[in-house]
Each structure stands twice: as C-alpha cells, then as structure tokens.
Amino acid sequence: MALTQVEMMLAARSSQVQNGIRFPHMMFDQQDDELQVLDANEASSRNSNMQHRQSRERSQQRVAGDNGPPRRRQPDVGWLDLPNKDQLFILAMCRLSEPLSSVCLLPYIFYLVRSALAREPPSPGTDNGTGSSTDSSGDHAAKISAYSGLLVASFPLAQFAVSLPWGRLSDAHGRKLSIVTGLLISGVANAAFGFSRSFGALIFWRTLSGLANGNVGIMRTMTAEIVKEPRFLTRAFLLLPLVFNSGMVASLVLGGMLADPVVNLAWLFGPDGLLNLSHDSRGVQWLAEQPYALPALMNASLLAFALILAILWLRETLPGKEDARDVGLLTGLAISRCIRRNILRRQDQPYMSLNMDEDGLLDSRQGRHQTQSLVELEEMKEARDTVAVLEIPSPTRSAAVAVAEAEKQPLRSVFNWRTMAALVSFGLLPLHNSAFMHILPVYLSTPHNDARNDHVNLISFTGGLGLQSSTIGIWLSLFGICGILAQLWIYPIMQARLGTLGVFKVSLFIFPLVYLLAPYLSLLPETGHLSAVRWIGLGFVIGGQILARTMAIPSTVILLTESAPSRAVLGTVHGAGNMLASLARAVGPAAGGTIYAAGITEGVVGTVWWFYLVVVCIAAGAWCFGVQGPKEKELNE
C-alpha cells in the first residue's frame, strides 16, 4: 500500500523527477531504474551537507572576487566566449571617438598651430627630422609650444567639466541617448576642426569635442551591464582599453599621413596626382587650401559609421528602460531581417549527395523543404525580436525602484569610503601616466651632449638622447603594439593568478622603478661598443611603463565598478571617475612640463622623474594599500 501511494505521488509529480525528488520526511533517488526510499534522518543529513557545501562555495567565490583567484579553478574564458558580442562590438566602435578626437592631431600639431598663428599653411615637409623648422626658433618656437599646450589641454579640461553631468544624465534618461548624442556632436566638431583657420576656432571646436567625449564612463558602465557574469568581466573590461590603444596607434599613423596630403601623398593629391583632375599646379585645390582637413574628415567619417551602428543596433541597458520603445532599434531589426531573409533564400538547396533514383528526388525535395523551414524559422525569430521591442511592459518593481534610486539618491550616499578610495586610485593613474607620455618624447628629443655634463654625479646631470622625431615615432608605435598584445594575453593570465587588486599592486611597483632609472639613459654612451646598452635601456623604460600601464588601467576600471553601491548609480560613479581622469590628463602634462623645464635649467634632468612621477606613484601605492587593504583583510576573515 505504501508503494502504491509512492507511485501515485511520483506519477502526479513526474515532471519534477530528475536526479532526486524531495518530499517531506523522505527522499527518492533514481539509480539504475530502481527507487530507493531513504529514511528521514539520512535525507536531512544529506540536505544539510549539501546546503553547507553550497554556502561554503558561495563564500569562496565572494572572497575570491576581491582578493584573488577563486579556490576552485574556473574554466578558461576566451574572447569568443564573451556574451552579447554584437553589443560589445558596437560599444567598441563608439569608444574610438576619444582617441580619434584627442590624439590624431599630435603628429602635425606644431604646423597646425603655426599655420593658425601666422595665417599661412606651411608644409610638414619642411621638417628637418628633428621636429623643428628653419623659420621657427627662439621666442616664436616657444610661443608655438605654449599655444600647442593650450590646444592639447582644452580637450581633457572639457571632459573634466562634463563627465559627472553625463553620468547623471545616463542614469536618469538612458545610456544609449548619451552615447548617440556624444557621437553626433563629436563628429560635427571633428569635421569643423579640420576647416578652422584661426587659433580661436581651433580651441572652440576642440573644446566642443571634449565636451562630447565626456561620456566615456558611460561606455564602461554599459560594459558592466552587458556582461553581467563575473567570469566574463575581465575580458570584457579589457576590450575598451584595447580599442582605445588600437585607435590611438591608428590615429597617430593616419594623422601623420593625411596631414598636408599634397606633400605627404603627392602621388595621389599632388600636382601630378591621380586625383588632381583639375590639373592645378598646387595639386588638389581644396586640400592645398585646407591642408589639415583630410584627417579631420576621416575622423568624422569613422564617427558617423559608429553613430549609425549605435542608432540602429545598440540596445539600452539602463535598469527599467531596457524594454522601452526604440525606433532606431526597430529599424535596425527590419534591416537585419531583410538581409538575413535574402541570404537564406539565395541558398535554394543545401549540400547533398546526388542520387539518380526516386530516393534522390525525394532527398532533393526534402532539401527544399529544409531550406524553406530555415527561412520560416528565421522569420519567426525576427518577428519575435520585433514583438519584444514593440511591447512596452511596465517596468518591474525592482527596476523602477532602481531608476528612482539613481535619480533621487544624494551624492553623499553614492560616494562612500570604498568608492572614494577607488576614485582616487583611478585619478592618480592618469596623473603620472599622461605626464610620462608628454615628457618622454621631449626628453628623447633633447640633445645628448651638454657642456654642463663635464662634471657629473648620480644626481647632477642633464641632457636627453638627441633622437630624431622619426625614430621616436617608431619606438612609440612598436611598443604601443606590444601594449595591445599584452592586454590580449598577459593581463588575463596575471588577473587569473593574482586577482584584480593584486595585478594593480604589481603595476605600482613597476612604475617607480621605471621612473627612477629613466633619466640615467642620458649617461649611457651614444657611440662605441656600449651604445647598444642605451637602446636596451630605452626598451626597458618604454616597455616597463607600457606593461605597468596595461596592468593598471583595466584593474582600476574593474575596482571602480565593484566599488559602486548599486548598479543603478554605475553611470554616476564612472562619470566621476572620468571627470577626475580628465582633470589629471590636463594637469599631468602641464605640471610635468614645467618641472622638466626647471630641471633642465638647473642641470638636473631627473627632477621630474624623481620628485614628481615617483612621488605620485608612492601616493597611489599608499592609498591602495592603506584603504583597499582593510577591505581585503575583512573579506579574508
């Protein structure tokens, strides 16, 4: 009788029978098609052990998320394993806006500013290989350098002013709106910048471009919202720095090649160029009159492409607004449906063996039916996606509360102690990193031989390496590519072994070592059998700094993301981080350049390296160990 009741219970709940079925006071296990009834004590003991094991695993995973690698080895995650790759690709294209807008002008900024000040378009072809020209010396060169510094600083200063408002706007009205608006303004500003002839116009359009690129923190926020599983976050957060570095290298190359194309690309735009259809003696007329318009137009074209992708296929990720009606997304789905349907219908038959009998005819008919079924299945999928976008369900209570929380939560509650610690670390990194990127080319261009180096010691010496601008460009480009490869391969391995905070701490040891040794390159022989040592030392300095930067940048982004009190305020937190980083990128080069000039004047070229960059790194390390350390210790306990 008892077995009959058990069988009736199993039949009534057959849909729930898997490896084990739990009822009050008993458990049934299915092994080799036999049901075994366990007594209540054994079942209770097994449930208790299972709950204890699950609780212990969750605790280990929670601790490992902040302190280091998980104690139970997780499967390796590759780039192709990332979820929502289409959304990450669109976000990566949008991320190109900042390097295209801020870095592209650096190869020709000297000639651009000289042209704006003198109201005549000189040619970069007059460069003698050392970064100077015959008509720009003394006070005139100093004036050009000062104005160039203002032009460079205007972009990050504008970013600093609007980063936090961009974040609050995205938390209140959506991520996609902020990104699309920024891309539109940035594209217009880049195009107008190329046709500007006065220094005031250059400042205006570059400042406007900086205002439009204050939404970089929103892209980091969207990355965290698109990829929600912790095991994918390391790869996902590497994507945006990887795209930034790739865009920076590409924009430097494009800027140098496309500036004054009548001279640099004479075979295409010169007097005898293929595109000089009017046979003008100066070359293509409008490019001869606007020598710096082509790189700006190239930037605007790439930004327009990213804008189209974002409007048509980028999905909203703000909690509570993911299902809001999006006309651009509906249009993109219609375009995708049309393309997929046409591609599938061109395939009249799938690949099959040819049989000259009735079976073969039947196989052919089945193939056509299969193709038709594939088309119908694809249409059903697209229709389902369209309906999902067309439907505007009321937000769930939790999502609505999250949106209201983002709009009404005061800033004091958003920026708690842990968030402030992450923000300070996030801001200190570009303070010395941007100074290094500005000081290093100047130091490498400074003449090596100096009369004040007759009596030198380990502190008092001056001069640089006296390298040509072309050599400097080659070194920076090669190590920039190495930095991209390091982000792809080295960082994921180190992060898996040491954890996010551990990798960041390692980078804080490398930075001071590089900055301490950098000025001693001036003491290495320029010629002779020991000259190779100087090149090896230069490779160590540049490579070490890029390696440390590759480890530090993604780590600070991840730490900042994890420090947010809730996902509803991620946009605000990243907006504040971007604001601090923008201010640091403006202050770092200006302060570093001033200290470097003072050191050269006093005959101590290492002043900027030892007293500025090292002090910043020590402060960053002390902050990291002093503030993040207690949190880590608390988790370990």
Q: Say if CB 578 and CB 401 are below 8 A apart.
A: no
Residue 331 CB contacts under 8 Å (≥ 6 apart), including other chains: 312
Are 567 and 463 within one domain? yes
Does one domain contain both 373 and 436?
no
Mean pLDDT to the nearest integer, 196-202: 91
Structure tokens at 481: 């590519």
User: What does the alpha-carbon distance between residue 86 and residue 553 come to, in Å, rounded to a whole number?
Assistant: 24
Q: Residues 347, 447: one domain?
A: no
Confidence of residue 566 (pLDDT cuts 50, 70, 90): confident
pLDDT higher than threshold 70 for residue 340: yes
Single out the residue of 608, 622, 567, 589 nearest to residue 170, CA to CA: 567
Token reading at 244 = 């930034």
403 domain residue, yes or no: no
3-state secondary structure at position 231: helix
Are residues 204 and 299 part of one domain? yes
Mean of per-residue pLDDT scores for the chain:
72
Residue 230 has, within 13 A of its CA and on its CB side, a CA count of 16
Q: Is the confidence at residue 384, as pLDDT, over 90?
A: no
pLDDT bin (cut points 50, 70, 90) of residue 454 is low
In this structure, what token pair is assigned to residue 217? 């923190």
Please check whether residues 458 and 550 belong to one and the same domain.
Answer: yes
- pLDDT, tens digit, 9 for 90 and up, residues 126-143: 444 444 444 433 345 446
Nearest to 425 by CA among 622, 630, 156: 622
- Find the DSSP H helices in 347-357: none
pLDDT at 577 over 50: yes
Query: Has residue 401 been placed in a domain?
Result: no
Whether pLDDT at 600 is above 50: yes
Predicted pLDDT at 168: 85
Query: Helix crossing, 230-258 with 469-498: angle to 10°?
Result: 180
pLDDT at 53: 54
Interval 281-323: pLDDT, tens? 788 888 888 888 998 999 999 999 999 999 999 999 888 888 8
441 shares a domain with 560 = yes
Q: What is the three-class DSSP state of 34? A: strand
pLDDT (tens digit per residue) in 398-433: 444 444 454 556 666 667 777 887 888 888 888 888
Boundary residue ending a domain (22, 46, 61) = 61
**Any domain includes 323:** no
pLDDT > 50? residue 38 = no
Weakest mean pLDDT among 380-394, 430-444, 591-605, 613-627 = 380-394
Quote the pLDDT of residue 178.
92
Count of domains forming the chain: 4
Q: Do residues 27 and 38 make contact, with C-beta atoms less than 8 angstroms apart?
A: yes
**Distance, CA of 264 to chain centre:** 31
Domain that holds residue 249: 84-129+137-260+291-316
Q: Flag whether 197 is in a domain.
A: yes
The C-alpha angle 90, 98, 118, rounded to 5 degrees, equals: 145
Phi/psi zone of residue 30: left (φ > 0), alpha (ψ -120 to 50 degrees), beta? beta
Report the pLDDT value the prediction gives residue 129, as an integer from 0 to 100. 40
pLDDT one-digit tens code per residue, 255-274: 877 888 888 788 888 888 88
CA distance 148 to 298: 22
91 and 235, same structural domain?
Answer: yes
Q: Are residues 357 and 244 in the same domain?
A: no
Q: Which residue has the tokens 């040592």?
A: 533
Q: Give the highest mean pLDDT range of 207-221, 470-484, 596-610.
A: 207-221
Indicate whether 68 belongs to any domain: no
Question: What is the rounded average pLDDT of the residues 240-269?
Answer: 82
Do 45 and 121 sit in the same domain of this protein? no
**Tens-place pLDDT, residues 459-515:** 778 777 777 655 666 677 777 788 778 877 888 888 888 888 888 888 888 888 898
More reliable by pLDDT, 469 or 188: 188
pLDDT above 80 (res 175): yes
Residue pointed to by tokens 């107008």: 192
- Residue 53 and residue 167 in one domain: no
Which pLDDT score is estimated for 58?
A: 52
| CATH at 498 | 1.20.1250.20
Assess if residue 275 is contained within a domain: no
Reference 236, options 247, 244, 228; nearest CA is: 228
| Token digits of residue 369 | 């039916």
User: Does residue 272 lie within any of the structural domains?
Assistant: no
Q: Which of 167, 267, 198, 169 is nearest to 561 (CA)?
A: 167
Region of poorest pLDDT, from 388-397, 506-515, 561-570, 615-624: 388-397
Give me the half-sphere count of Cα atoms (radius 13 Å) on the Cβ side of residue 183.
26
- Other C-beta atoms closer than 10 Å to the C-beta of 470 total 13
pLDDT, mean of residues 532-544:
87
Q: Please tell me which of 89-98, 131-140, 244-253, 381-390 the model is most confident about, judged by mean pLDDT.
A: 89-98
Q: pLDDT at residue 361 above 60?
A: no
On the 0-12 / 13-18 / 19+ scale of CB atoms within 10 A, 205 is buried
Residue ending a domain, choose from 376, 391, 406: 391
Same domain, 54 and 168: no
Instruction: Please check whether residues 472 and 336 belong to one and the same domain.
Output: no
Could you tell me which residues are beta bridge partners of residue 30?
35
Picking from 282, 302, 231, 281, the residue whose alpha carbon sits closest to that of residue 496 is 231
Is residue 408 in some structural domain?
no
| Residue given tokens 């002390």 in the structure block | 622
